[in-house]
Amino acid sequence: MKLAVIKGDGIGPEVIDVALSVLNQVLPGVETTEFDLGAQRYHRTGDLLTDEDLDAIRRHDAILLGAIGDPSVTPGILERGLLLKMRFALDHHVNLRPSKLFPGVTSPLAGNPDIDFVVVREGTEGPYTGNGGAIRVGTPHEIATEVSVNTRFGVERVVRDAFARAQSRRKHLTLIHKTNVLTFAGSMWKRAVDDVAVEFPDVTVAYNHIDAATIYMVTDPGRYDVIVTDNLFGDIITDIAGAVSGGIGLAASGNIDATGTNPSMFEPVHGSAPDIAGQGKADPTAAILSVVLLLRHLGHDAEADRIDQAVSADLASRGDTPVTTAEIGTRIRVALG
């Protein structure tokens, strides 16, 4: 396996180092290439993600990314020029984000409900395309638009992926959108789900408006099995999902090109957390669970299962004493035996 590694900014390098040591223990001999991308390179060279970077990244089987982002860079520059550019260039249309409340982990929700669902967030359309613009900027007559672009092609492929995942899980799929206000895009999403549902007769389908869905995340997250949703609603719902299932220190994600044409990318949902960077406080679990998703994506299910069990064992026995980034790595490598 050839793995492109982007450690990135803030706590990125710390959590990726631990994640790689865990990967190496279950699957020795993975070839890694480090890519220097993020705020530091941007400040040094002005480059975000060049065509050469993309060509080199494409020659790998998968990508592991830590976190990108630094307060020294204007909001939007790194996001649009690097993170989103990569998702679009590598056609990462399936943004996969599982949420599971592991035994031993405390949810901020009273009564620690059962939580075990997967969000399939569309990754290459919606309000994320950079469409839109502004005129008369800086005057009292400024107008700014943001355009959400949705295609049947793009919606249908991610809906089909979500149905297939529901089929191999508890056979329940929920579409989240805002069909009563965003009627053009909403009606297309709704029809795509209705049409693809015919191919999966034993999957039951539900629909929630995004606003109602955030309520259910707090009052009844156990109702969800697989969620399919657009790029922006998926961004929002996966953060709240992470929060109720023990914090985004535990939330992993995959940015997947389901056609296999381009390498898929795996990364923790959390950001670069510059406030705690370099202090050994970051929880590497989300990065390690991103390695689990990466292994499953490449067909290494046995290795993925081993790490999953070691993470469960670590979380179940952590107790209330704070553990350092390195200690968590050690605990998981010990559990792996």
Please report, in range form, the residues annotated as the binding site: 87, 97, 121, 211, 235, 239, 271-283
**Residues facing residue 134 across a β-bridge:** 144
**Which C-beta is closer to a second copy: that of 114 or that of 184?**
184
**Residues facing residue 98 across a β-bridge:** 118
Alpha-carbon distance 284 to 36, whole Å? 20
**Residues facing residue 322 across a β-bridge:** none
**Which C-beta is closer to ligand IPM: that of 53 or that of 235?**
235
- Furthest CA-CA distance within the chain: 65
Residue 56 binds which of ligand IPM, a second copy, none (CB < 5-8 A, kind-dependent): none
Alpha-carbon distance 118 to 231, whole Å? 15
Number of CB atoms found within 10 A of residue 222's CB: 13
Alpha-carbon distance 282 to 272, whole Å? 10
Assess 91 for contact with ligand IPM (CB under 6 A). no
User: Which of 11, 162, 248, 315 forms a contact with a second copy (CB under 8 A)?
Assistant: 248
Kindly name the residue from 36, 194, 211, 220 that is annotated as catalytic: 211
Assess 181 for contact with ligand IPM (CB under 6 A). yes
Assess 211 for contact with a second copy (CB under 8 A). yes
Measured at the CA of 282, the angle between CA 279 and CA 286, to 5 degrees, comes to: 160
The yes-or-no answer on residue 100 being catalytic is no
The yes-or-no answer on residue 178 being catalytic is yes
Q: In whole angstroms, how close is the CB of 274 to a second copy at the nearest point?
A: 14
The two beta strands, 172-177 and 2-8, are unpaired
Q: Which residue has the tokens 């996001």?
A: 79
Residue 321 binds which of ligand IPM, a second copy, none (CB < 5-8 A, kind-dependent): none
Is there a contact between 49 and 37 (Cβ–Cβ < 8 Å)? yes
Using CB under 6 A, count the residues that bind ligand IPM: 8
Residues near a second copy (CB under 8 A): 75-76, 79-80, 84, 106-110, 127-128, 130-134, 136-153, 156, 178-188, 191, 210-212, 214-215, 217-219, 232, 235-236, 238-240, 242-244, 247-248
Residues near ligand IPM (CB under 6 A): 79, 83-84, 180-181, 211, 235, 269
- Active-site residues, by number, are 128, 178, 211, 235, 239
